[in-house]
Amino acid sequence: MSLMRPILNAYLRLTEKPYLARVARPISLRQSFEAKARLFFHPPLGTRFRQGEIAGVPVTSVRAPWVAEADGPLILYFHGGGYVFGSPRTHRAMLAWLSRAAQAPACLPDYAKAPEHAFPAAVEDALAIYRAVMDRPGGVVLGGDSAGGGLALALLGEICRLNLPRPLGCFGLSPLTDLGHGGESLMRNAQAEVLLPAARAAELAEMYLQGADPDDPRASPLRAGFDGAGPVWLTAGDTEILLDDTRRMTSHLRDQGIEVTEVIERDLPHVWPIFHNTLPEARETLTAIAAWISSLSPVTDDS
């Protein structure tokens, strides 16, 4: 482990975790995250960002230097933030580094957020965008972190349910896969977790669900079917409150015959790859994801 790991963990525990525990207004969470992203997260020089719309949903296209629009698969990435905050602006620098490592373009949807837009609005946005890009000649790879990782997996479940053309694969960084919060790590790791306050998990989930069933597979992909899905790559830290969301998701997918790469890291914070500018482990994980993306087989006509 790097020297930066304990420094970053201490910083998050002393500053970000108390902030997330006390601030209730979604607008404050959104503004704070975006301000910190501008300050701390920087893309490779020469990265190209373009704002647009796909299927009526605002998106940010990301291409690292020397990456053409037609290169490789499209990385369709859903940002985290509890379905309440976060945006393409908070995550685009991380995707720029992944675009460079994978030599592939990325697309970050600004999907509908709660509480203004309750479940299943985010899933509907994700599905509409996927329908618009699913026939890309180079294929599509789904990805996301935290709630966005859950959204990517929920989208994969919907793709399988509707028998749409499958993406090449799907990856999740510390994904939120169970909005019923049935994992034991939620309480077991409540003190060890350096970023997310466990006491607010149910509150944020209800802000999104607004009375909907947390066991709906579109909300909790841990309940979804994945017949015919391609490979899945999941990672989490062993001190995260969402650790069991990854472990149980891995078991659920493997029970259905899906090829899963599960990487559990020691004492790294929630969604650590976003700290790519300062944390060596973040860059190592992005490099590993890029190598995995490069290993995926193209979609065949009968897949």
Beta strand residue intervals within 12-146, DSSP E: 48-54, 57-63, 74-78, 106-109, 140-145
Would you state the pLDDT for residue 177?
Answer: 98
Catalytic residue, candidates 87, 99, 146, 220: 146
pLDDT digits (tens, 9 = 90+) for 81-123: 999 999 999 999 999 999 999 999 999 999 999 999 999 999 9
User: Which secondary-structure segment (H or E) carries 6?
Assistant: helix 4-11
Copy the structure tokens of residue 295: 């290993």
Copy the structure tokens of residue 263: 């990487």
Q: Domain total for the chain? A: 1
The amino acid that residue 218 corresponds to is: R
Catalytic residue, candidates 91, 181, 270, 276: 270
- Report residues of the chain scoring pLDDT below 50: 300-303
Residue ranges making up the domain that contains 192: 4-295
Question: Is 143 within a domain?
Answer: yes
Would you state the pLDDT for residue 300?
Answer: 43
pLDDT digits (tens, 9 = 90+) for 281-291: 999 999 999 99
Would you state the pLDDT for residue 35?
Answer: 97
Q: Is 252 a catalytic residue?
A: no
Question: Is 17 within a domain?
Answer: yes
Q: What CA–CA distance (Å, rounded) separates 117 from 120?
A: 8
- Which residue reads 């830290």 in tokens? 237
Q: Is 42 a catalytic residue?
A: no
Q: Is 270 a catalytic residue?
A: yes
Question: Is 141 within a domain?
Answer: yes
User: Which secondary-structure segment (H or E) carries 97?
Assistant: helix 88-102
DSSP for residue 19 = H
Looking at the DSSP assignment, which residues form a beta bridge with residue 26? Answer: none
Task: Report pTM.
Answer: 0.97
Would you state the pLDDT for residue 258?
Answer: 98
Question: Is 301 within a domain?
Answer: no
Residue 276 neighbours by CB under 8 Å, 6+ apart:
41, 93, 94, 97, 282, 283, 286
Would you state the pLDDT for residue 301?
Answer: 42
Question: Is 302 within a domain?
Answer: no
Would you state the pLDDT for residue 1?
Answer: 82
Would you state the pLDDT for residue 235?
Answer: 98
Catalytic residue, candidates 240, 252, 276, 281: 240
Angle at 207 between CA 38 and CA 9, to 5 degrees: 45
Question: Is 180 within a domain?
Answer: yes
Question: Is 300 within a domain?
Answer: no
Question: Is 98 within a domain?
Answer: yes
Query: Which CATH number does the domain housing residue 90 bear?
Result: 3.40.50.1820
Looking at the DSSP assignment, which residues form a beta bridge with residue 302? Answer: none
